[in-house]
Structures are given as structure tokens and as C-alpha cells.
């Protein structure tokens, strides 16, 4: 049995580790929770079903689809049949091109969408002027915007970014608007009675109160960027993951098509995870701000 001095020393060492390496504590907690194992089980069931339906039992309805074994071999091959794998420069060129377009469109969407959403939720006159326009434009599919984007935006790259921007833009505005509308009016009346200026109300009431909704909108907007990017790259691009999906389908390179689709999903997952991490960090700032620390 450990002595009290030994126990105290161990507790002190654990506290020092938690202070110096907080990420290690979070990783340990995550590994002790059931979340990673449930995720691994769900992914494993998906790949097992893919293998059984196509590779093992060759179910007729899935006969034209590439099997798990062939797709994995192509992805991991140093000399792939169709020229795209983890070991080829072309693979990373498409990934980098899509990432650059998505993040350019995403930052443009949040730069414009958040101020507009705040004004719509804060000022009734602005809401009355802009909300009908938003509701008319928002349901229009991304594919319907392609001719206008090509006509109005110069070059080949800017129309793709513009089309990718639209989906995240509308999502960001609506979530920001919802966040501002969710703030209790008591906080506004209290701030006014304390003599807060409009800028102080913005920074100390509206932004902290709406921040959770804003970051939910960012996560949804990032996903919207990826699926709208695919449509834009298919019709207007010459590189990128969306363009590669269409090219591989056109040339009947189905294993590479599956590889590209899986890469799209992984890129979207990592991008949303990055937004979630930033959001969690800023939520700490919000909690301190609301607590008056």
C-alpha cells in the first residue's frame, strides 16, 4: 500500500502533467469513453457490409461497383493502374486544390455572413429589408447558379470559389440570425440601463450570446462548402477532388472514383473537426466573458 507521501507526490506529478500537457488528459479521457470504440465499430460494420455485398457474395444489385479489396489495393499501390494513389503527386495536387478553394470560400462566407446575420437579428429594419431576399435566393440549387457565376465572375478559379461560397454563406447568415434572436431581451435592457454603448452591446451581449449558434453554422457551412465544391468542380474545374470524381466516372475508373469520394469525406470530416476545435476554444472565451473574468 502506498504511503501518504507517495500518494501526495503522485497527485502533484499528475497535476503538473495536466497543467503542462492538457491535451494528454483529454486524449486519455477520450480513450476511456465509449465514443472512439463506437465510432470504430460503426466504420467496421460499414466496411464489412461493403466487403460481403461486393467481394464475398457478389450481390447482383452491386455488381458494377468496385470492391473493397480492389479499391484498397489501388489506394495503397505505389504503381496504381489508374495513376492515383497515396504515393502519387497527382492525388495530393487534387487535395490541395480543393482545400484551397474550400477555405477561401469558407472564410469569405463567414466574413460576410456573420455581420449580415448579426444585423438581421439586431435591427428589425435591416431584417425586413433583407430576409425576403434571402429566402428567395437560398432555395436555388448551386447548379442553377453556375451560368451566372461563369458570366459574372472572371477567370476559371473565382467562379468555382463563388459557387462554393454560396452554400456556406446562407447557412452562416441563418445560424447567426438564430443566435442573435435566441438572446433574452432582458440582457439588452440591462445593458441599456447600465449605459452600454451600441459597440459595447455588440461585443459584450450579442457576440457572446450568439457564438454557440454561429459555430454550429460554421460546422454546417464547412460541410456545405465541400458538397457545393464538387458540383462547381465537375462543371467548371480542371483539377480538384470533385473534378476527379467526374473524370473517373466518365473514364470508367471506378476504384479511383471510390478513392476520391472517400478522400472527399475524410477532408470534410477533418475540416469540420478543425472548426469544432476552434469553436471549443472560443467557447472558453465566451464563458469567461459572461462570468466577467
Q: pLDDT digit string (tens) for 171-192?
A: 999 999 999 999 998 989 998 8
| 54, 100: one domain | no
Residue with cell 451581449: 205
Helix 142-152 to helix 207-236 angle (10° resolution) is 80
Which residues 6+ apart lie within 8 Å of 246 measured at CB?
Answer: 233, 234
| 28, 169: one domain | no
What is the number of helices (H) and of strands (E) in the chain?
A: 13, 0
Q: CA 149 to CA 167: how far, in whole Å?
A: 14
pLDDT digits 0-9 by tens, 125-144 = 999 999 999 999 999 998 89
Cα distances (Å, whole numbers) of residue 83 to 86, 244, 258: 10, 12, 14
| 38, 148: one domain | no
**CA atoms within 13 Å, Cβ hemisphere of 275:** 24
User: pLDDT tier at 227 (50, 70, 90 boundaries)?
Assistant: confident
User: pLDDT tier at 18 (50, 70, 90 boundaries)?
Assistant: very low
- The answer to the question of residue 180 being in a domain is yes
- The answer to the question of residue 83 being in a domain is no
Residue with cell 439588452: 188
- The answer to the question of residue 78 being in a domain is no
Q: CA 197 to CA 210: how far, in whole Å?
A: 18
Q: CA 117 to CA 133: how far, in whole Å?
A: 13
According to the model, what pLDDT value does residue 9 have? 47
The pLDDT of residue 10 is above 50: no
Q: CA 134 to CA 77: how far, in whole Å?
A: 48
3-state secondary structure of 5: helix
143: domain CATH number?
A: 1.10.3720.10
- The answer to the question of residue 268 being in a domain is yes
Q: CA 242 to CA 246: how far, in whole Å?
A: 7
According to the model, what pLDDT value does residue 14 have? 45
The pLDDT of residue 104 is above 70: yes
The pLDDT of residue 31 is above 80: yes
| 216, 139: one domain | yes
- The answer to the question of residue 104 being in a domain is yes
Domains contained in the chain, number: 2
User: pLDDT tier at 247 (50, 70, 90 boundaries)?
Assistant: very high
- Domain span at 115: 89-291
For 150, counting Cβ atoms within 10 Å of its Cβ (0-12 exposed, 13-18 middle, 19+ buried), the class is middle
Supply the mean pLDDT for the chain: 86
| 53, 93: one domain | no
User: pLDDT tier at 115 (50, 70, 90 boundaries)?
Assistant: very high
- The answer to the question of residue 214 being in a domain is yes
According to the model, what pLDDT value does residue 285 have? 64
Amino acid at each position: 500500500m502506498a504511503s501518504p507521501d507517495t500518494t501526495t507526490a503522485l497527485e502533484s506529478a499528475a497535476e503538473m502533467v495536466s497543467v503542462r500537457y492538457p491535451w494528454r488528459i483529454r486524449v486519455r479521457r477520450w480513450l476511456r469513453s465509449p465514443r472512439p470504440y463506437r465510432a470504430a465499430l460503426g466504420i467496421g460494420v460499414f466496411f464489412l457490409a461493403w466487403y460481403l455485398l461486393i467481394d464475398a457474395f457478389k450481390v447482383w444489385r452491386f455488381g458494377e461497383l468496385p470492391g473493397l479489396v480492389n479499391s484498397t489495393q489501388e489506394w495503397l499501390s505505389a504503381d496504381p493502374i489508374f495513376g492515383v494513389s497515396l504515393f502519387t503527386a497527382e492525388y495530393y495536387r487534387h487535395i490541395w486544390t480543393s482545400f484551397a478553394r474550400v477555405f477561401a470560400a469558407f472564410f469569405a462566407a463567414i466574413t460576410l455572413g456573420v455581420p449580415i446575420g448579426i444585423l438581421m437579428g439586431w435591427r428589425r429594419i435591416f431584417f425586413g429589408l433583407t430576409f425576403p431576399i434571402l429566402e428567395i435566393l437560398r432555395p436555388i440549387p448551386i447548379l442553377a447558379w453556375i451560368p451566372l457565376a461563369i458570366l459574372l465572375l472572371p477567370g476559371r478559379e473565382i467562379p468555382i470559389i463563388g459557387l462554393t461560397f454560396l452554400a456556406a454563406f446562407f447557412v452562416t447568415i441563418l445560424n447567426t440570425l438564430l443566435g442573435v434572436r435566441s438572446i433574452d431581451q432582458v440582457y439588452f435592457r440591462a445593458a441599456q440601463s447600465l449605459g452600454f454603448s451600441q459597440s459595447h452591446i455588440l461585443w459584450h451581449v450579442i457576440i457572446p450570446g450568439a457564438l454557440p449558434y454561429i459555430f454550429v453554422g460554421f460546422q454546417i457551412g464547412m460541410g456545405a462548402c465541400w458538397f457545393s465544391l464538387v458540383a462547381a468542380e465537375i462543371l467548371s474545374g480542371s483539377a480538384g477532388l470533385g473534378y476527379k470524381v467526374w473524370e473517373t466516372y466518365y473514364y470508367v475508373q471506378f476504384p479511383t472514383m471510390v478513392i476520391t469520394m472517400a478522400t472527399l469525406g475524410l477532408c470534410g470530416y477533418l475540416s469540420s473537426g478543425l472548426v469544432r476545435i476552434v469553436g471549443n476554444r472560443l467557447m472558453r472565451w465566451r464563458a469567461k466573458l459572461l462570468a466577467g473574468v
